[in-house]
Amino acid sequence: MEVGLQRTFVGDEIAPVRVKEFLDEADEFSLLMMRYNCAIREVRTKLEVLNDELSVIGQHNPIEAIKSRVKKSESIADKLLRRGKPLTVESIETNLNDVAGVRVICSFMDDIYQVARMLAVQDDITVLEVKDYIKHPKTNGYRSYHMIVEIPVFFSDVKRSMRVEIQIRTIAMDFWSTLEHQVRYKKAIPNTEFIVGRLKECSDTIAKTDREMMEIRNYIQGS
Protein backbone atom coordinates (compact mmCIF):
# COMPACT_ATOMS: atom_id res chain seq x y z
CA MET A 1 0.00 0.00 0.00
CA GLU A 2 1.14 3.55 -0.68
CA VAL A 3 0.00 6.60 1.22
CA GLY A 4 0.27 10.33 0.62
CA LEU A 5 1.25 12.27 -2.46
CA GLN A 6 4.31 14.47 -2.41
CA ARG A 7 5.91 16.58 -5.14
CA THR A 8 9.54 16.96 -6.11
CA PHE A 9 11.33 19.01 -8.75
CA VAL A 10 12.77 17.18 -11.76
CA GLY A 11 14.61 19.78 -13.80
CA ASP A 12 12.05 22.51 -14.37
CA GLU A 13 9.14 20.08 -14.10
CA ILE A 14 7.18 19.19 -10.97
CA ALA A 15 6.64 15.42 -10.86
CA PRO A 16 4.34 13.54 -8.46
CA VAL A 17 6.11 11.11 -6.12
CA ARG A 18 4.37 8.45 -4.07
CA VAL A 19 5.49 8.48 -0.45
CA LYS A 20 5.76 4.85 0.56
CA GLU A 21 4.05 3.17 3.44
CA PHE A 22 6.97 3.55 5.86
CA LEU A 23 6.14 7.24 6.37
CA ASP A 24 3.02 6.45 8.35
CA GLU A 25 2.73 2.74 8.94
CA ALA A 26 5.93 0.72 8.41
CA ASP A 27 7.30 -0.86 11.55
CA GLU A 28 10.77 0.58 11.01
CA PHE A 29 9.47 4.12 10.66
CA SER A 30 7.27 3.79 13.77
CA LEU A 31 10.23 2.39 15.70
CA LEU A 32 12.44 5.29 14.63
CA MET A 33 9.84 7.87 15.64
CA MET A 34 9.52 6.17 19.03
CA ARG A 35 13.29 6.47 19.46
CA TYR A 36 13.21 10.17 18.61
CA ASN A 37 10.44 10.68 21.18
CA CYS A 38 12.57 8.91 23.77
CA ALA A 39 15.55 11.10 22.90
CA ILE A 40 13.37 14.16 23.47
CA ARG A 41 12.39 12.85 26.91
CA GLU A 42 16.07 12.38 27.77
CA VAL A 43 16.88 15.97 26.80
CA ARG A 44 13.82 17.37 28.59
CA THR A 45 14.80 15.52 31.77
CA LYS A 46 18.31 16.97 31.63
CA LEU A 47 16.92 20.47 31.18
CA GLU A 48 14.43 20.07 34.02
CA VAL A 49 17.19 18.81 36.35
CA LEU A 50 19.41 21.78 35.45
CA ASN A 51 16.55 24.20 36.03
CA ASP A 52 15.74 22.68 39.43
CA GLU A 53 19.40 22.81 40.47
CA LEU A 54 19.89 26.41 39.40
CA SER A 55 16.72 27.48 41.19
CA VAL A 56 18.30 26.22 44.43
CA ILE A 57 21.94 27.27 44.05
CA GLY A 58 21.27 30.44 42.10
CA GLN A 59 17.84 31.47 43.41
CA HIS A 60 16.72 31.76 39.80
CA ASN A 61 14.94 29.53 37.29
CA PRO A 62 16.57 30.27 33.93
CA ILE A 63 14.06 28.18 31.99
CA GLU A 64 10.52 29.49 31.66
CA ALA A 65 9.19 26.71 29.41
CA ILE A 66 10.25 23.66 27.42
CA LYS A 67 8.45 22.71 24.22
CA SER A 68 9.15 19.69 22.05
CA ARG A 69 7.99 17.95 18.90
CA VAL A 70 8.83 15.19 16.45
CA LYS A 71 8.49 16.19 12.80
CA LYS A 72 5.41 14.91 11.04
CA SER A 73 5.90 12.29 8.35
CA GLU A 74 4.83 14.72 5.62
CA SER A 75 7.42 17.28 6.72
CA ILE A 76 10.12 14.62 6.86
CA ALA A 77 9.26 13.42 3.35
CA ASP A 78 9.12 16.96 1.97
CA LYS A 79 12.55 17.85 3.39
CA LEU A 80 14.16 14.67 2.04
CA LEU A 81 12.64 15.24 -1.40
CA ARG A 82 13.78 18.87 -1.52
CA ARG A 83 17.30 17.71 -0.72
CA GLY A 84 17.15 14.98 -3.33
CA LYS A 85 17.56 12.24 -0.71
CA PRO A 86 15.89 8.81 -0.75
CA LEU A 87 12.72 8.19 1.23
CA THR A 88 14.04 5.54 3.58
CA VAL A 89 14.37 5.17 7.33
CA GLU A 90 18.16 5.07 6.99
CA SER A 91 18.05 8.30 5.00
CA ILE A 92 16.11 10.05 7.78
CA GLU A 93 18.77 9.22 10.35
CA THR A 94 21.63 10.06 8.00
CA ASN A 95 20.39 13.28 6.42
CA LEU A 96 18.12 15.02 8.94
CA ASN A 97 19.21 16.55 12.24
CA ASP A 98 15.93 18.16 13.27
CA VAL A 99 13.43 15.30 13.34
CA ALA A 100 13.45 15.56 17.13
CA GLY A 101 13.24 19.15 18.33
CA VAL A 102 13.32 20.76 21.76
CA ARG A 103 12.70 24.49 22.28
CA VAL A 104 13.88 26.08 25.51
CA ILE A 105 12.39 29.44 26.51
CA CYS A 106 14.55 31.47 28.89
CA SER A 107 13.94 34.69 30.79
CA PHE A 108 17.17 36.47 29.93
CA MET A 109 19.83 36.30 27.22
CA ASP A 110 22.63 35.18 29.54
CA ASP A 111 20.38 32.31 30.67
CA ILE A 112 20.53 31.00 27.10
CA TYR A 113 24.29 30.66 27.16
CA GLN A 114 24.32 29.28 30.69
CA VAL A 115 21.89 26.51 29.77
CA ALA A 116 23.80 25.75 26.55
CA ARG A 117 27.13 25.51 28.41
CA MET A 118 25.72 23.25 31.09
CA LEU A 119 24.28 20.90 28.50
CA ALA A 120 27.46 20.85 26.42
CA VAL A 121 29.72 19.74 29.31
CA GLN A 122 27.63 16.69 30.20
CA ASP A 123 29.71 13.65 29.32
CA ASP A 124 26.90 11.74 27.61
CA ILE A 125 26.02 14.61 25.27
CA THR A 126 27.95 15.20 22.07
CA VAL A 127 27.51 18.62 20.49
CA LEU A 128 27.62 18.16 16.72
CA GLU A 129 26.81 21.70 15.59
CA VAL A 130 26.10 25.15 17.00
CA LYS A 131 24.50 28.11 15.24
CA ASP A 132 24.32 31.32 17.23
CA TYR A 133 21.62 33.41 15.61
CA ILE A 134 21.66 35.76 18.60
CA LYS A 135 25.15 37.09 18.00
CA HIS A 136 24.67 36.61 14.26
CA PRO A 137 20.93 37.03 13.50
CA LYS A 138 19.44 36.04 10.18
CA THR A 139 18.74 38.80 7.68
CA ASN A 140 15.03 38.72 8.50
CA GLY A 141 15.75 39.37 12.18
CA TYR A 142 15.47 35.79 13.48
CA ARG A 143 17.36 35.26 16.73
CA SER A 144 17.87 32.00 18.59
CA TYR A 145 20.66 29.69 19.75
CA HIS A 146 20.67 26.33 17.97
CA MET A 147 22.45 23.15 19.01
CA ILE A 148 22.47 19.77 17.29
CA VAL A 149 23.33 17.21 19.95
CA GLU A 150 23.67 13.46 20.03
CA ILE A 151 22.46 11.65 23.12
CA PRO A 152 22.48 7.92 24.00
CA VAL A 153 19.12 6.28 24.61
CA PHE A 154 18.96 2.84 26.21
CA PHE A 155 16.34 0.42 24.93
CA SER A 156 15.64 -3.21 25.90
CA ASP A 157 18.36 -4.70 23.73
CA VAL A 158 20.43 -1.83 22.35
CA LYS A 159 21.87 1.62 23.04
CA ARG A 160 21.22 4.11 20.25
CA SER A 161 22.79 7.53 19.77
CA MET A 162 19.98 9.88 18.69
CA ARG A 163 20.25 13.40 17.32
CA VAL A 164 18.13 16.23 18.71
CA GLU A 165 17.94 19.86 17.67
CA ILE A 166 17.76 22.23 20.64
CA GLN A 167 16.66 25.84 20.15
CA ILE A 168 17.21 28.20 23.08
CA ARG A 169 15.72 31.70 23.06
CA THR A 170 14.14 34.35 25.24
CA ILE A 171 10.40 34.81 25.69
CA ALA A 172 10.47 37.84 23.39
CA MET A 173 12.46 36.00 20.71
CA ASP A 174 9.98 33.13 20.81
CA PHE A 175 7.01 35.50 20.47
CA TRP A 176 8.68 37.15 17.47
CA SER A 177 9.44 33.80 15.85
CA THR A 178 5.84 32.64 16.24
CA LEU A 179 4.52 35.72 14.46
CA GLU A 180 7.17 35.55 11.73
CA HIS A 181 6.28 31.90 11.12
CA GLN A 182 2.64 32.86 10.55
CA VAL A 183 3.68 35.48 8.00
CA ARG A 184 5.99 33.06 6.21
CA TYR A 185 3.40 30.33 5.79
CA LYS A 186 0.18 32.31 5.47
CA LYS A 187 -0.82 32.87 1.87
CA ALA A 188 -2.18 36.03 0.27
CA ILE A 189 -0.96 38.51 2.86
CA PRO A 190 -1.20 42.06 1.45
CA ASN A 191 1.90 44.27 1.65
CA THR A 192 4.14 41.35 2.60
CA GLU A 193 7.33 43.39 2.18
CA PHE A 194 5.97 46.05 4.54
CA ILE A 195 5.16 43.39 7.17
CA VAL A 196 8.59 41.78 6.80
CA GLY A 197 10.22 45.18 7.25
CA ARG A 198 8.22 45.89 10.39
CA LEU A 199 9.11 42.47 11.78
CA LYS A 200 12.79 43.23 11.25
CA GLU A 201 12.35 46.50 13.16
CA CYS A 202 10.58 44.61 15.95
CA SER A 203 13.43 42.11 16.10
CA ASP A 204 15.94 44.91 16.63
CA THR A 205 13.73 46.44 19.32
CA ILE A 206 13.33 43.07 21.04
CA ALA A 207 17.09 42.51 21.05
CA LYS A 208 17.64 45.94 22.62
CA THR A 209 14.93 45.29 25.21
CA ASP A 210 16.37 41.86 26.06
CA ARG A 211 19.77 43.45 26.71
CA GLU A 212 18.30 46.25 28.83
CA MET A 213 16.18 43.84 30.88
CA MET A 214 19.28 41.75 31.58
CA GLU A 215 21.20 44.87 32.68
CA ILE A 216 18.34 45.91 34.99
CA ARG A 217 18.23 42.45 36.54
CA ASN A 218 22.01 42.50 37.06
CA TYR A 219 21.75 45.92 38.72
CA ILE A 220 19.00 44.71 41.06
CA GLN A 221 20.93 41.59 42.00
CA GLY A 222 24.10 43.60 42.62
CA SER A 223 22.46 46.26 44.77
What is the per-residue pLDDT across 72-129, written as a single tens digit (0 to 9) for each? 999 999 999 999 999 889 999 999 999 999 999 999 999 999 999 999 999 999 999 9
Per the annotation, the verdict on 129 as an active-site residue is no
Contact 36, 99 (CB under 8 A): yes
State the pLDDT at residue 202: 94
Rounded to an integer, what distance in angstroms lies between the CA atom of residue 13 and that of residue 175? 38
State the pLDDT at residue 12: 39
pLDDT under 50 in the chain at which residues? Answer: 1-18, 20, 22, 24
Please pick, among 165, 180, 201, 215, the residue that the annotation labels catalytic. 165
State the pLDDT at residue 210: 95
State the pLDDT at residue 22: 45
State the pLDDT at residue 102: 98
Specify the pTM.
0.83
State the pLDDT at residue 27: 81
DSSP, residue by residue, the chain: -EEEEEEEEETTEEEEEEEEGGGTT-HHHHHHHHHHHHHHHHHHHHHHHHHHHHHHHSS---EEEEEEEE--HHHHHHHHHHTT---SHHHHHHH-S-SEEEEEEESSHHHHHHHHHHHHTSTT-EEEEEEETTTS--TT----EEEEEEEEEE-SS-EEEEEEEEEEEEHHHHHHHHHHHHHHH-SS-TTHHHHHHHHHHHHHHHHHHHHHHHHHHHHHHH-
State the pLDDT at residue 186: 66
State the pLDDT at residue 142: 95
Q: Torsion angle of alpha carbons 201, 202, 207, 208, nearest 10°?
A: 80
